[in-house]
Amino acid sequence: MCAAPMGMLPACGPGVDMLASWAEGLGQSRAGVQSRECLRFAFYGRVSTEDWQDPVTSRARQLQQAVMLTAGHGTIVAQFFDTVESRTLPWARRPQAAALVAQLADPDRGWDAIVIGEYERAFYGNQYASMAPLFEHYGIQLWMPEVGGRVDWHAEDHEQTMLALGLSSKREITRTRIRVRTAMATQTREQGRYLGGRPPYGYRLADAGPHPNKAHAAWGRRAHRLEPDPATAPVVTWMFSQRLAGHSAARITRALNDAGVPCPSAADPGRNPHRTGSGWTLRTVAAILANPRYTGRQVWNRQRTDFDLADPANTTLGHKQVQRWNLPGGWVISKHPAHAALVSETDFIAAQDSTAPRGPAGPAARRYLLAGLLACGQCGRRLESAWSNGKPAYRCRHGYTSATRPEPGRPPNTYVREDQILPHLAAIAILLAGPARKPDWTNRGLAQLTGPDSTAALIDQLRSGGTVLTYDPQDRTLRVGDPDTPSVIIGKKH
């Protein structure tokens, strides 16, 4: 039964403040009316994981705490429970919490107060401070065990309690994150322990005995280590040998596809249900060639998790997790070999160094004056820079890469050397000057107007003006603008 205190009549007699007595009695009377009506509660709860917590048990426990807290004050008529949602997510990004918030403005929502079984299940950091004004605006009460019932929006002790609980909730997450990362770094560096995840292509998991944690071992958990996979380890070794022989990652990719070697997702479909397994890609080959675990060392922290604002224009949405690659200086490497190596450390390092461009001119000597200024007249793509016979050149592969076999009927790659274009930039400049200076385009000698002293100035003019030159490989011409504009012939037609 809900309590029903009665209103009071103003007291009479000498020395009695009738107005104050009347106001006090009216307040008690209205409180009694609200109490007699009983509160209708909406319960909110949350569980962060399904692997280490039982959502059914956790929900029952939180709901039981809420029922005990509201006993004699009302009835829980609605439930909102988020599963596999972190407390660090703001309410707007938790599905059930967002659904609860969406009902606040509805006068027919069917409930008058929110009850929470445990503070940490609902709030984190300053989330209470951002949600309390919203609840108060719509006249919704908030009940929590930590204050023994209803939260008083304006009571200083309640405000301080909520602030302390928010900091404690955030501290718990931060402390756990630091403790876990420190433990994983130590286990990698000192023990070379396999820390989970999918084994790299070329390896498979092998039993390494009981789990080193006695409690986990008592539950039957086993430790694991990596061992070479007889079917895929030779492929990894071959890939490194090809890289050390000077072959590009694209050429290695194409060779694997031509030979019909199953790609990682096809070789282990059980661990890769989200991938098609259709063939090797350049990114996959590059990732394998860059993985230091093939040296036999255990390596951890190659990737880190950053927390970026979900929306810089709306900081109340909190942060989102973003995976980024660490530089090698941030890796944690085991002191000793942890599993059989598929490539020596010397060869692995040499393979990383071989990613630099190869050719008669070193990387520092390669300059492409027209990089980014040329487009393909056949497909519209920008021409890419390519070193050809010791000279700068530009090419377009029309969306194809050397990692895949050419399809029948695809147009041939477009190539044009830089020294074929530079002498004709003056004619392009005349085109840009406007119709008043339009030359006679039947006179090819007009295209031979520039010299080395003016080349840099002309290129700077093109870049500053955002000009793109379109090269047509069929006519061997350059033009500025749409196909109807005059063009400059830079070589013999095919």
Q: Which residues pair with 80 in a beta bridge?
A: 44
Q: Name the pLDDT band for 28 (thresholds 50, 70, 90).
A: low
Higher pLDDT, residue 251 or 135? 135
pLDDT at 370 over 80: yes
Q: Name the pLDDT band for 301 (thresholds 50, 70, 90).
A: very high
What one-letter code names the amino acid at 427?
A
Residue 108: both structure tokens together? 């027919």
pLDDT of residue 366: 67
Q: Which residues pair with 333 in a beta bridge?
A: 299
pLDDT tens digits, 83-99: 988 888 999 999 999 99
pLDDT of residue 439: 42
Q: Which residues pair with 183 in a beta bridge?
A: none
pLDDT tens digits, 169-189: 888 888 988 999 999 999 999
Contact between 341 and 296 under an 8 Å Cβ cutoff? The reply is: yes
pLDDT of residue 77: 94
Q: Name the pLDDT band for 268 (thresholds 50, 70, 90).
A: confident
The mean pLDDT of 114-141, rounded to a whole number, is 92
Residue 210: both structure tokens together? 């009981």
Q: Name the pLDDT band for 48 (thresholds 50, 70, 90).
A: confident
Q: What is the DSSP letter of 106?
A: -
Q: Scan for tokens 């809420």, then name that residue.
A: 66
Q: Which residues pair with 227 in a beta bridge?
A: 204
pTM across the whole model:
0.60
Q: Name the pLDDT band for 19 (thresholds 50, 70, 90).
A: confident
The CB density around residue 433, as the number of other CB atoms within 10 Å, is 11
pLDDT of residue 438: 44
C-alpha gyration radius of the chain: 36
Cα 84 to the chain's mean position, in Å? 18
pLDDT of residue 11: 59
Helix (H) or strand (E) holding 183: helix 156-186
